[in-house]
Amino acid sequence: MRALVGTAVDCGSARENVAVIVENGFIRDVVPRERVGEYAVDEVYGGDGYIILPGLVNTHTHVAMARFRGLGEDFPIERWLNDVIWPAELEWTREEIRRWALLGMAEALANGSTAINDHYFFAGEIAEVAKELGIRAFIGQTVMDTIDFPIAEPEEGFRFFKKWAGKDELVTPVLAPHATNTVSLELMGEIGEFARERNALIHVHISQSRGEVLEVKRRYGLSPVEYLERAGVLGDDLVGVHGIYLSDSEVSLYAKSGATLVHCSLSMAKLEARIAPIIELAERGANIALGNDSPNPVGMMDPFEEMRFAAVLNKVWRKRTDVAPAKEVFRWASLGGARALKLKAGLIKPGYLADLVLINARKPRFLPGENPYSHIVYSTRGSDVELVMVNGEVVYKNGMLLRLGKTLEELWEELRPSGR
Ligand SMILES: [Zn+2]
């Protein structure tokens, strides 16, 4: 048994001076700190000045894109994708994918993401890396069929799913059609049918550029959300991402369906100078989650940065300071992500998965500490994370990736291109 000691903060409440008791991968109890001796605990972490959080769920990532960090800076999304990213992606080898996926994934984990939902090519390699590292990973093989892209062949998506379904406790395969304009209505329908038979999640980019919206309209006379509805995939198994061009009627249709919208505000602000109508989606009952998207464009896989930007950018976008309060944004990053992925996680409660993060808040900027939600969203950085527990196992501690037996600096040394 293990115990984490400190102030336990989830989106329901903040409890000072408690011990979170962990056994067999689950939270067994949350008790006043002085009662820790009543349990057969052999490892205790934290203490005064520590904050215990439910693991943050990075609900949309492309971790291997760490390779492209800094490329195509300040291009709009279509130029970034067509001129920089897609040509570079056609050069991938399996070895390079493993190397850069490990780098991006280790970064996400060390900064407090206990789970990622990754959408990329060579998904089998990425799944192997996740197993080595010990992060909880939902992984989908990106597929497309309206453009010719050899590494995105539709059959591979189903093959990957079948190979990994039920194979590993931490790796869950999902279906990952690329976007509403790069996947035909026929293929999207097939994916929906497969997902229903197998009880699978569908992870897809929606309405992330003007070009996408126009293309779907021209091809089918539908908006992206109507297209998803027509394909039979609009429901609570759908994890849609971006949605920055959703119309008001699409927002209502989407919110009513029970689907999740993953908000990646930093990525979209940078690539398209725009963010999604998140406040409207949330007001109409949609589940909201957060994701870093990828190290290019955002620069780093830090879920705390993502929370801070989501809180601030929504205020600017709506020209109102009372939207996206810290507690709600923290809920999107924790419980919202867990709900999207159907995980019993995101709260610090007995019976919930022991996916937990310990923040070392023994620093001046965490005082006075009266409003923990404000401190989490506005005062915390990923580098304040001291320990990450996934499934009850400590997989990261003080700079060390425990399953790999390597520090982050050793990983940098090993993976850096020579001379950099
Ligand atoms: Zn993406």
Q: How close is the Cα of 293 to the center of ligand 1, in Å?
A: 5
Distance separating alpha carbons of residues 24 and 22, to the nearest angstrom: 7
The pLDDT of residue 363: 97
Distance 118 CA to ligand 1 centre (A): 9
Q: What residues are paired with 289 via a beta bridge?
A: 262
pLDDT (tens, 9 = 90+) of the chain, 420 residues, equals 999 999 999 999 999 999 999 999 999 999 999 999 999 999 999 999 999 999 999 999 999 999 999 999 999 988 999 999 999 999 999 999 999 999 999 999 999 999 999 999 999 999 999 999 999 999 999 999 999 999 999 999 999 999 999 999 999 999 999 999 999 999 999 999 999 999 999 999 999 999 999 999 999 999 999 999 999 999 999 999 999 999 999 999 999 999 999 999 999 999 999 999 999 999 999 999 999 999 999 999 999 999 999 999 999 999 999 999 999 999 999 999 999 999 999 999 999 999 999 999 999 999 999 999 999 999 999 999 999 999 999 999 999 999 999 999 999 999 888 877
Residue 291 β-bridge partners: none
222 C-alpha to ligand 1 centroid (Å): 22
Give the distance from CA 269 to its chain's centroid. 17
Q: Is the dihedral of CA 43, 48, 52, 58 positive or negative?
A: negative
Terminal CA-to-CA distance of the chain, rounded, Å?
A: 43
Predicted local distance difference test score (pLDDT) of residue 108 = 98
Q: Tell whether domain 67-340 is in CATH 3.10.310.30.
A: no
320 exposed, middle or buried (CB, 10 Å; 0-12, 13-18, 19+)?
Answer: exposed
Q: What is the pLDDT of residue 417?
A: 84
- Give residue 292's pLDDT: 97
Q: How far is Cα 342 from Cα 332, in angstroms, rounded to an integer?
A: 14
Ligand 1 centre to CA of 260 (Å) is 15
Bridge partner list, 385 = 359
60 CA from centroid of ligand 1 (Å): 6
Distance 141 CA to ligand 1 centre (A): 13
Q: Which residues contact 368 (CB under 8 A, 6 or more apart)?
A: none
Output the CA 76–ligand 1 centroid distance in Å: 14
The architecture (CATH level 2) of 2-55+347-410 comes to Roll (2.30)
Q: Any idea where the domains of the chain sit in the sequence?
A: 2-55+347-410, 67-340
Check if the beta carbon of residue 345 is closer than 8 Å to that of residue 302: no
- For residue 420, the model assigns a pLDDT of 78
Structure tokens that stand for 132 in this block: 């080595």
- Structure-block tokens of residue 218: 């021209």
Q: Cβ distance 33 to 19 under 8 Å? A: yes
Ligand 1 centroid, distance to 320 Cα (angstroms): 28
Q: What does the pLDDT read at residue 418?
A: 80
Bridge partner residues of 284 (DSSP): none
Is residue 368 reached through a cis peptide bond, with omega within 30 degrees of 0 on the bond before it?
Answer: yes
Q: Specify which residues 356 forms β-bridges with.
A: 54, 389
Give exposure, 222-261, as e/b (b: 16+ Cβ within 10 Å): bbbbbbbbebebbeebbbbbbbbbbeeebbbbbbebebbb
The Å distance, Cα 419 to ligand 1 centre, comes to 30
Write the DSSP symbol of residue 394: E
CA–centroid distance, 179 to ligand 1, in Å, is 9
